[in-house]
Structure 1
Amino acid sequence: MRAFLFSLLMLVGACTTAPDDVTTGHPGVAPDSLGAIAESYVHLILDIGELEPGYVDAYYGPAEWQAAAKAETETAAQLIQRAAYLSSRLADLDRNGPSAMTPAEIQRRKYLIAHVSAASARLRMLSGEKMSFADEAEALFGIRPELRPLESFDPVLAEIDALLPGEGTLTERVTAFKSHYVIPADRLQAVMDAAIAECRARTVRHITLPANERFTLSFVGDKPWSGYNYYLGGAASRIEINADFPIYTERAIDLGCHEAYPGHHVYNALLEQTFVRERGWVEMSVYPLFSPMSFVAEGSANYGIDLAFPGEEGTAFERDVLFPLAGLDPSTADKKAQLGALTRRLARAEYTIADDWLAGRIERAEAIRRLMKYTLADEAKATQRLRFIDTYRSYIINYGLGRDVVQAWVERQGPDRWETMETLLSSQILPADLAP
Structure 2
Amino acid sequence: MIRANKVVCLLTALAVPLLFGACEGKSAGKAMMEAPSKVVEAKQAQAVKAEKDKMPMDGVAREYVSLVLELGNHDKSYVDAYYGPAEWREQAGQSSASPAQIAQRGKRLLGQLPAGAAADGSLDALRLHYLRTQLGALVVHAQRLAGESQRSFAKEARSLYDTEPPKQDFASFEPLLLELAELLPGKEPLSERVQGFRMEFEIPVDKLQAVFDAAIEACRQRTKQYIPLPDNESFVLEYVSDKPWSGYNWYQGGSHSLIQVNRGLPITIDRAIDLGCHEGYPGHHTYNVLLEQSLVKERGWVEYSVYPLFSPQSLIAEGSANYGIDLAFPGEEKTRFEREALYPLAGLDPSKAEKYDRVMALVDKLSFAGNEIARQYIDGEIDGDQVPALFEKYTLMSPAKARQRKDFVDAYGAYVINYNWGKKLIADYVEQGTNNADERWQRFAKLLSSPRLPSSLDW
1:428 is aligned to 2:442: no
Correspondence for 2:186: 166
Between the aligned partners of 2:335 and 2:163, the Cα distance in structure 1 is: 32
Correspondence for 1:104: 123
User: What is the deviation of 1:76?
Assistant: 1.0
Relative to the length of structure 1, the TM-score reads 0.90
1:267 is aligned to 2:287: yes
Between the aligned partners of 1:32 and 1:229, the Cα distance in structure 2 is: 33
CA separation of 1:334/1:31 partners in 2, compared to 1, >3 Å: closer, same or farther?
Answer: closer
Between the aligned partners of 2:181 and 2:416, the Cα distance in structure 1 is: 26
The answer to whether the 8 Å contact 2:71/2:78 transfers is: yes
CA separation of 1:386/1:33 partners in 2, compared to 1, >3 Å: closer, same or farther?
Answer: same
Between the aligned partners of 1:116 and 1:276, the Cα distance in structure 2 is: 18
| Letter aligned with residue 400 of structure 1 | N
Relative to the length of structure 2, the TM-score reads 0.86
1:58 is aligned to 2:58: no
Choose from 206, 210, 216 the match for 1:186.
206
User: What is the deviation of 1:434?
Assistant: 2.6
User: What is the deviation of 1:290?
Assistant: 0.5
User: What is the deviation of 1:184?
Assistant: 0.2
| Letter aligned with residue 66 of structure 2 | H
User: What is the deviation of 1:274?
Assistant: 0.3
Between the aligned partners of 2:303 and 2:295, the Cα distance in structure 1 is: 9
Equivalent residue runs for 1:17-416 within 5 Å: 32-90=55-113, 93-94=114-115, 98=117, 103-128=122-147, 129-415=149-435, 416=439
Correspondence for 1:418: 441
Secondary structure of the corresponding residue to residue 332 of structure 1: helix
User: What is the deviation of 1:102?
Assistant: 9.6
User: What is the deviation of 1:363?
Assistant: 2.5
Correspondence for 1:8: none
Between the aligned partners of 2:109 and 2:63, the Cα distance in structure 1 is: 7
User: What is the deviation of 1:151?
Assistant: 1.3
Q: What's the CA shift string for 1:295-329, capped at 9, x where partnerless? A: 00000000000000000010011111111000011
- Structure 2: unaligned runs, 5 residues or longer: 1-47
The answer to whether the 8 Å contact 1:171/1:378 transfers is: yes
CA separation of 1:138/1:280 partners in 2, compared to 1, >3 Å: closer, same or farther?
Answer: same
The answer to whether the 8 Å contact 1:147/1:352 transfers is: yes
Between the aligned partners of 1:340 and 1:346, the Cα distance in structure 2 is: 10
CA separation of 1:86/1:296 partners in 2, compared to 1, >3 Å: closer, same or farther?
Answer: same
| Letter aligned with residue 99 of structure 2 | A
User: What is the deviation of 1:233?
Assistant: 0.2
Secondary structure of the corresponding residue to residue 219 of structure 2: helix
| Letter aligned with residue 104 of structure 2 | Q
Between the aligned partners of 1:248 and 1:380, the Cα distance in structure 2 is: 15
The answer to whether the 8 Å contact 1:217/1:238 transfers is: yes
- Structure 1: unaligned runs, 5 residues or longer: 1-24
User: What is the deviation of 1:409?
Assistant: 0.8
The answer to whether the 8 Å contact 2:126/2:456 transfers is: no
Identity over aligned residues, as a percent? 48
Between the aligned partners of 1:296 and 1:98, the Cα distance in structure 2 is: 21
Q: What's the CA shift string for 1:208-232, capped at 9, x where partnerless? A: 0011100000100000000000000
The answer to whether the 8 Å contact 1:47/1:69 transfers is: yes
The answer to whether the 8 Å contact 1:405/1:435 transfers is: no
User: What is the deviation of 1:146?
Assistant: 1.4
Secondary structure of the corresponding residue to residue 258 of structure 2: strand
> Cα RMSD between the aligned structures?
1.8
Which runs of at least 4 in structure 1 moved beyond 6 Å after TM superposition?
none
